[in-house]
Structure 1
Amino acid sequence: MCTHGLTGGAARAFVMALIDRYLDVKIVSIYGYLDIKILEMKKMRTQNLDIALTAIAPAIWGSTYLVTTEFLPAGYPLTVAMLRALPAGLPLLLVVRQLPTGIWWLRSFLLGALNFSFFWAMLFVSAYRLPGGVAATVGAIQPLIVVLLSRLVLGSPVRVLSILAGVAGMAGVALLVLTPGAALDPLGVAAGLAGAVSMAFGTVLSRHWAPPVSPLTFTAWQLAAGGLLLVPVALFFEPSLPSLTASNLMGFAYLGLIGAAFTYLLWFRGLSRLEPSQVSPLGFLSPVVAILLGWGVLGQQMAGIQTLGIVVVFASVWMSQQAQMARRPAPVRA
């Protein structure tokens, strides 16, 4: 006699097999989901570390005003810029023992001019012809220029949050350093804008060209090239330096080794790992550190409006990072 269906034991075994298979699939799915989340967390931690290390550079640049006014001879801005770049770039070249090849000779000098020579020259012209607050506020337009250049050169989308962050950063810098009744000199404003455009192009092109070398080597090439370009400019436009004191030498050593070699290594490392529109707003931290050092070290007064400016600057930096973290594409529905 034939029986139809399964016996009780066979049915139970069949059901248990289905349950085991279902559980196996669910466990695999859970493990897969956890693996993805762990990878995302690791990526987020790595990105946060990259942002923090890159932010050290503009924070140290904020000490430039203090070091320049307290340790260096006054009235030699181009010579100071040259002595900041060249003595940092040449020793780094000796360390890396690698010179540019092919097209990278031209690119190194072009980037050296954009990031150092021309940028610093325009920065000093702006600083001499404008009140410090106006010069800093004009220069703070750089992150907005980077957003637009990233769109044109890298094809990066223009995000509303990035624009808002740039505008907020400019407002924060204005609150920090702008004084009522500050005069506007057209040539000074033009120089400030030219410097901001120069640094913006240098920032975007540094990411676009993606050098086939380490950040240390890339930094050495640009600093050496930028310093060499500044030599004839400094010799032609400025008199010779007076005899240097021990304090002067300490100031030059700090600006060259820490304020240039170390900081630009961190800066170009960040540009190799992060979006330019993510890196550039970190520059808003420089005037914040300058104000805090003036208050803490030089005993300068800090008004409530400047405290508000610091809060606005930090908010703008946070917004700029959030704009990049929101890049994940939405899931496509079947």
Structure 2
Amino acid sequence: MTAPAAASATPFRPRDLLAALLVVVLWGVNFVAMKWGLESFSPFQLGAARYLFAAVPLVLLVRPPRVHWRWVVMFGLFQGIGQFGFLFFALKVGMTAGLASVLLQTQVFFTALFGFALLRERPGRPLVWGLALAAAGLVCFVMNYVGPAAGSGMGRGSATTLAGLFLTLCGAAMWASSNIVARLAQQRSPGYDPLAFVIWSSAVPVLPFVVLSAVFDADAARWLHWQALADVPWIAWASVAYLGWAATIVGYALWTNLLQRHPANRVAPFSLAVPVVGLTTGWLVLGETVAPWQWAGIAFIVVALACVVLGPRFQTKKASMA
């Protein structure tokens, strides 16, 4: 979202810093919560529960966004069914919470590629360098599954698969698609309210996830009995509540508020800390480990993100000094 012009003069106060750091923690811990939720729910069931918690009761309290409904539906499908559908399956079939937090940030580069292809947005030099570094990082991740390194880091706490890697990247691509939809919705809707947009779009994936679960999950019928709900461990319900309310509603509300009052180039760098929190919590809480090739891939992607996020600022400063 584009910040108001007056925001450039607004100082970054301590409460703003606290809000930014809280968002980083909420989104970083988000991946551990997903792992816990998937111990009791299938990917489709967890998706339905997450968005049901995110939408209710807020859709009863927040007015619908003043945008065409096609944008709300498209955003809900790309982000809900696409991003988190793929991500939940990746975490189920072979992806650690920590690595998922890193790989999902490749949405920055997918967004740039889609923006160039669909919106004719020309990439700047920092973005080109970032894309090259991110590609090198993905090669490092693939190297973990081929040649002499195949199987390294595949033990307990670090079990990843090529399918998990592919599905996580698909989730990142779907996140990028939702970014393009949100950008188009903002451009074509003068009364665009990002928080209302997120809340109402959260209602969209619920029914599709329920239908997908009914069709593909062998145990879907058990949810017709109240006892099945009572048998779900409290940690699974806590995970769903965290995903729906903390990570989705509170996180996006705080982030949106920061973007409304400050330039994006001052807010965006905080997102670089999300993978750090994700890797740390995955290690401390789930006992996850990282293989050497994966560390190399992480380093390339983090440097690539830094190049994209911080590069334009240095270019502007260099141009002003010339």
| 1:95 paired to 2:61 | yes
Does residue 293 (structure 1) correspond to residue 281 (structure 2)? The answer is: yes
Is the contact between residue 90 and residue 165 of structure 2 (CA under 8 Å) also seen in structure 1? yes
Q: 1:104 to 1:135 in 2, by over 3 A?
A: same
Question: Contact conserved, 1:141 with 1:196, CA < 8 A, in 2?
Answer: yes
- Cα distance, 1:191–1:177 mapped onto 2, change above 3 Å: closer
Matched, 1:248 2:236: yes
2:201 aligned residue (222, 233, 236) = 222
Q: Which amino acid in structure 2 is aligned with residue 237 of structure 1?
A: F
- After TM superposition, the structure 1 = structure 2 runs for residues 271-286 of structure 1, keeping only pairs within 5 Å, are 285-286=273-274
Match 2:123 to one of 150, 155, 158: 158
1:232 CA displacement: 1.7
Partner of 2:9: 42
User: Is contact 1:119-1:198 (8 Å) kept?
Assistant: yes
- Larger deviation, residues 191-200 vs 134-143: 134-143
Q: CA deviation at 1:319?
A: 1.9
Which amino acid is 2:52 matched to? L
Gaps of 5+ in 2: 1-5, 152-159
Higher relative contact order (CA closer than 8 Å, sequence separation 6+):
2
C-alpha separation between the residues in 2 aligned to 1:128 and 1:73?
A: 9
Could you tell me the TM-score, scaled by structure 2's length? 0.68
CA contact (8 A) 1:203 1:271 kept: no
> Paired residue for 2:40, among 71, 74, 82?
74
SS of the residue 1:74 aligns to? coil
* Cross-structure match for 2:154: none
Measure, in 1, the Cα distance between the counterparts of 2:33 and 2:56.
22
Report the equivalent of 2:304: 316
**Percent of pairs identical after alignment?**
21
CA distance in 1, matches of 2:118, 2:316: 18
Whether 1:104 and 2:68 are equivalent positions in the alignment is: yes
Give the residue type in structure 2 aligned to 1:181: A
5+ residue gaps, structure 1: 1-38
- Looking at structure 2, the residues matched to 256 and 305 of structure 1 have their Cα atoms a distance apart, in angstroms, of 33
Taking structure 1 as the reference length, the TM-score comes to 0.66
Q: For residues 141 and 71 of structure 1, do their structure 2 counterparts lie closer, same or farther at Cα, with a shift above 3 Å needed?
A: closer
| C-alpha RMSD of matched pairs (Å) | 4.4
2:253 partner letter:
L
- Equivalent position SS for 2:40: coil
Are 1:137 and 1:170, in contact at CA under 8 Å, matched by a contact in 2?
Answer: no
The one of 69, 76, 86 equivalent to 1:122 is 86
Q: How many residues align?
A: 288
Q: Which has the larger radius of gyration?
A: 1
Q: Please state how far the C-alpha of 1:306 moved relative to its aligned partner.
A: 6.8
Aligned match for 1:149, one of 96, 114, 136:
114
